[in-house]
Structure 1
Amino acid sequence: MLKTKRWTRAMFASVMTASMLAACSNDAGTPPPGEAAPSGEQATEGQATEGQGGSAVSESGFPIVQEPIKLTFFAGKAASAPADWNALPVWQQYAKMTNVEVDFQLTPAESLAEKRNLVLAGGDYPDAFHTARLSTADLMNYGQQGIFIPLNDLIDKYAPNFKKMLEQYPEVKRGLTMPDGNIYGFPTFYAPDFTSVLIGSKLWYNQAFLDALGLKEPETTEEYYQYLKAVKSTDINGNGQADEIPYAASGYGSLLDELKGAWGLGNRGNVHNRVDIDPQTNALRYIPTDPRYKELLEYMHNLYAEGLLVENLLTIKGPEVNALMDEGLVGSSVTNSPHAIGGVTIEHFVGAPALSGPHGDRIFSRARSPLIDPGAFVITDKNEHPEATVRWIDYFYSEEGSKLFFMGIKDLSYTEQPDGTLEYTEEYLKDSSKFVSWAGGWYPAMLTAKTFKGGEASPESMAAAEKVKPYWPEEVWPQFLYTAEELTRFTPLHTDIDKYVSESTDKFITGDLPFSEWDNYVATIERMGLKDYLELYTAAYERYKQ
């Protein structure tokens, strides 16, 4: 039996490494300073109950347990995150507050999936997984095996902050509840009123270029095209060289997603960037086979063919784009915030509005759900203190906990101004890695405009977000959830179709595949199993609606 169970785990682990409709994690921004949480709360504020491991667990207040306990967390470390979380003031402070000492065992992001799956398959896994990039398929798989424990009852009794959030935002609860009725993970949650962070990267115009050309801010796809052409044909910087770059970014994906709404596509946001609702039939629509998607690709091809996109679009890296923007050579880009990129201040860029397209459509198709990463934190069946662990994680879904997680310790990594706003200290700005661990995303916490001071919170990014809010989709979908049986059918379909569409999109844009082949392209996708793919997708969608 043991050998069979381990083989099953290994098999599922290999299947689940494919990312299906994964939500975007946080776009990299300038890390904010950290703040400390109040340490004066006492366990007497809430009743203490006997935990599963025999320790008295307070239902509210601090410390969480009267007798200290130790927990081991497997954690994924992004390249931008600190090398040793155990030495950070934020976690040392929280250990004192809670009487819960956590040993963060870090694995680099580049080897995270392999190491995590090996640990789970071998059975030598820790008390919890924190920032481990677990997919919804992982949650369902390991939850049904009993490796990840159900959280429903524990949330109800020991997670007042998280419980309140689920009640306030029922779409988040629907997005977290697996087909078996259980919740297995604590997510990354973006406050819905923090529009800038829900968007992440934004489309920006170079205002200095617009002024020099005597142009108003483009509001349609035609005006945007004319602006890019003007940048291409004008020696704006007066150096006698044709070195101005109309549009620069790493790849075309973000611009394509930005422009979809101008053709009426992406009307349920960008978590499902290739599926939305067909307004004619009210059924699910596979966007890459829609005739309007062909029009969009033709528009993108024209930009590419006329040299309006940076020459090495498919290979250039983000830092290289930032350098070009910093030199004042770029007319437009999709990026997080030019005013807060890696400590560099790139001037003159203003956020673009959602563009209106040739048929009069104007949807901000890059909208994201507040539910970003459903598997940011899970508790395993090895954990002898699940009640205390739920109390431990629940704090980060409160404003004070969010402040501690993102800002660190008051007067050490941040200060609080008389008006209540928070500002990082000089020490934090010199080296944020000495104070907090959130850089790189995928964390279990609530992110708000007050407690997060990354690039998305800059005045320029906040102003950019206001421009697109009027065109926000009426409904934005989170990830959908599939049963284990559905996944065995859906995963290969999704993998094969997605790969073919991505490769074909490249070729249509670059001209390697002529648009005379469009019908053959659509027919190929249909032969690959599009009907079955959409039937499975629809089943998951119907569950989400219920």
Structure 2
Amino acid sequence: MHTKKWLQTTLAVVMASALLIVGCSNGNSGEKDSASGGKNSEVSKEPVTFDYFAFGTNRDTMASDTTIGKILQEQTGVDWKMEFVVGDASTKSGVMIAGGDYPDVISPVGELAKFLDAGALIPLNDLIEKYGPNIKRVYGDYMNKITNEDGNIYILPFTANVNGYLSPPDPTSTFWMQRRVLKEFGYPQVKTLDQYFDLIEKYQAKYPSVDGKNTIGFVTFASTAGEFFTITNQPMHLAGYPNEGGVMVDMETHEAKLYQGTEDEKRWLAKLNEMNGKGLFDPESFTANKDQYLAKLTSGRVLGFASYSWQIPDATTNLRTAGNDDLRYVALPIVYEENIKDAYVDPPSFVNNRGLGISVSAKDPERIIKYWDNLLTDENQKLVQWGEEGVTYSKNADSRMVMTEKQLTDRNDNDFKHKYGFAYFDYEWPRYGDNSVYEDGNAHVPFNQPEVAAINYTEGDKALLKAYKLDTFSDLYAEPVERPWYPAWSIEKEPGSPEQLFSQRAGDLQQKFYPRMVLASPGEFEADWNEYMAEYNKLDAKGYEGFMTGKVKNRIDGKW
């Protein structure tokens, strides 16, 4: 079981952090600066509403229309008009930058370098120093990783692990298979890509339609530039590497090698081409929008698909709520060959280019930073992850946080998650990283808590675990290997730099040629691949690899 902790915070560091926090309390922030939270009368509660902007599929809302948002508003006087934009983040950010008028706070996802280059975000250093004791506590060990080369901090990332590292009991790969497929054939071992597709092919041949609707062999989401990585990332996973973005990093030499243009990429595309020729690949993978893609998964017609779990929470939740475990999916650690060790479970990591920043258009940065600091108390981190004791979670005799069946049912319901606020506050805010542990020993993320994970299993889950002789689904996966640089995809490329231009042009080639290669008649694949490689070889792949290798080695040396 993957329940061991990487306890990265030593007693000395904890004591040093405590001294830092105590030292901060002598300032004039007017806020109580302990992990347990609390405010005093010097903090203004004058009502104010700020604009919050993020790229994603969430529903627009006022924070105060959620239970969590209302509680935080009562603490601070601050409300948020929350806007989420679906689509091409690059285009959306370009329009925003061209207009020069920004919302108060922005979660820029992969567009951070562009926003920084445009001068759209303000430095947070002085605000943190004056009003951020909890920010210092949470990000203290990561300050060198969130400080830009110009000496400024522009965003507060989402992955700062506090009090150690608790590995999740149920990690997920990117390859999913419908459970009825496994059930039909007596729960066989499925390890390789060939085994995976062979099983799908056998099932579809036996059941070409269910309830009058055609089954769909395999689908993925590759219709937008922003999420095209869903299809391009798979060669590295199949080759036994974790999600590093465009490169695979050698564990001994620490050299970063692109997998684009390699036999690993060709093998993946050739397999999809083969599946398409057999009618097992859904061509709408390249054209369907996100809602249409999620609707297909929720329909239960899809036998297999590739996506990261964080891309599809609504679909997986809706399928669970529907109550038919046979139509749900299980993630499998699929690789090319039996002897390849999978690397789907993330090692301890810190992502320094995904976070929330304050824009130059912000009306009152001081109130915003105070709100964030208040959010980073243990008390409020429990609120945004667990909710309220006696309402959305309970405590057992050992003071362990647990959930009743009713509380668990609510937590697994999409409408409830939006109404209560979990859907809005559990991620894209300054926060403890998912693998954090509270000072009282409870897991930060409810489903990382062993007691919750155990009762979260449905009868179908238990049957599947029993069939494969597993205690948890994590038992399917190899233990993660620590990578001090991880993840390499968070290494920033300056706008207009050779590295950024290479990434853009190489990605453009993938978007142009992947549909052609996958949907081509089998006899045309090789010619399409050769044409793709002829174009790719015009790019400076070696220069890019040298840049990434240098950055990886810098991170190993502590230079982020």
Say whether the fold is shared (TM-score over 0.5): yes
Alignment of 1:236-315 (within 5 A): 243-251=214-222, 254=230, 257-258=233-234, 260-264=236-240, 267=241, 269-272=242-245, 274-278=246-250, 282-310=254-282, 312-315=284-287
3-state SS of the aligned residue for 1:63? coil
Residue in 1 that maps onto 2:182: 210
Classify 1:465/1:176 alpha carbon distance in 2 versus 1 (closer, same or farther; 3 Å).
Answer: farther
Aligned AA for 1:528?
L
SS of corresponding position for 1:222:
helix
For 1:148, the equivalent position in structure 2 comes to 122
Q: Which has the higher contact order (CA 8 A, sep 6+)?
A: 1
Q: Could you tell me how far 1:347 is from its partner in structure 2?
A: 1.3
Number of the residue aligned with 1:179: 149
What is the SS of the residue equivalent to 1:331? Answer: strand
- What is the letter of the counterpart of residue 401 of structure 2? G
Seen in structure 2, the aligned counterparts of structure 1 residues 487 and 403 have a Cα distance that, compared at 3 Å, is farther
Shift of 1:309: 2.4
CA distance in 2, matches of 1:511, 1:146: 44
Residues 202-245 of structure 1, C-alpha deviations (whole Å, 9 max, x = no match): 43333333332345131223322321221132238898x89444
User: Aligned pair 1:355/2:334, yes or no?
Assistant: yes
Deviation per CA, 1:371-402, whole angstroms, max 9, x where unpaired?
A: 45745322356779766644431344454322
Retained in 1: the 8 A contact 2:171–2:473? Answer: no
Q: Does 1:136 align with 2:115?
A: no
3-state DSSP of counterpart to 1:246: strand
Query: What is the distance in 2 between the residues matched to 1:452 and 1:305?
Result: 43
Aligned residue pairs, count: 483
Conserved? CA contact 1:261–1:364, under 8 Å: yes
Q: Percent identity?
A: 14
- 2:500 corresponds, among 478, 485, 491, to 491
Specify the alignment match of 2:438 in structure 1: none
Aligned partners of 2:445, 2:384: CA distance in 1, in Å? 9
Distance 1:245 1:333 in 2: 9
Residue from 63, 72, 75 that aligns with 1:94: 72
* Partners of 1:325 and 1:116 in 2: CA distance: 29
Match of 1:49 among 19, 23, 27: 27
Q: Supply the distance in 1 between the matched residues of 2:354 and 2:210 (Cα, whole angstroms).
A: 52
CA RMSD of aligned residues (A): 4.5
In structure 1, what is the Cα distance between the partners aligned to 2:169 and 2:60?
25
State the Cα deviation string for residues 398-444 of structure 1 (Å, max 9, x = none): 543222224444455x2424352146488885544333164495333
Q: Is the 8 A contact 1:133 1:373 kept in 2?
A: no
Question: In 2 relative to 1, CA 297–369 (structure 1 residues): closer, same or farther, beyond 3 Å?
Answer: farther
Contact 2:50 2:78 in 1 (8 A): yes
SS at match of 2:159: strand
| Mapped partners of 1:159, 1:197: distance in 2 | 34
Which deviates more, 419-428 or 219-228?
A: 419-428
Contact 1:247 1:333 survives alignment (8 Å) = yes
After TM superposition, give the deviation of residue 89 of structure 1 in Å. 3.4
What runs of 5+ residues in structure 1 fail to find an aligned partner? 1-43
Q: What is the rounded CA distance, in whole Å, between the counterparts of 1:248 and 1:510 in structure 2?
A: 13
Answer yes or no: is 1:340 the counterpart of 2:317.
yes
TM-score by length of 2: 0.69
The 8 Å contact of residues 347 and 481 in structure 2, kept in 1 or not, is answered as no
Q: Matches of 2:90 and 2:277 in 1, distance apart?
A: 39
Deviation at 1:302, TM superposition (A): 1.8
Q: Give the drift of 1:310.
A: 3.4
- Partners of 2:493 and 2:283 in 1: CA distance: 44
TM-score, normalising length: structure 1:
0.71
1:27 aligns to what? none
Distance 1:415 1:222, change over 3 A: closer
For 2:497 and 2:235, locate their aligned partners in 1 and report how far apart those are by CA, in whole Å.
33
**What stretches of structure 2 of length at least 5 have no aligned partner?**
1-21, 223-227, 436-442, 466-470
Q: Which residue of 2 aligns with 1:420?
A: 401
**Structure 2 CA distance for partners of 1:488 and 1:206, relative to 1, 3 Å:** closer
Cα displacement (A) at 1:499: 0.7
User: How big is each residue's C-alpha offset from its partner over 1:488-512, in whole Å with a ceiling of 9 and x where there is no partner?
Assistant: 4433332222111232222222226
2:487 is aligned to: 477
User: What is the CA distance between 1:524 and its match in structure 2?
Assistant: 1.9
Are the aligned partners of 1:364 and 1:473 in contact in 2 as well (CA < 8 Å)? no
Whole-angstrom distance in 2 between the partners of 1:345 and 1:270: 32
Per the alignment, residue 540 of structure 2 pairs with: 529
**Separation in 2, partners of 1:115, 1:279:** 37
The secondary structure found in structure 1 opposite 2:248 is strand
SS of the equivalent of 1:204 reads strand
Q: Deviation at 1:538?
A: 4.1
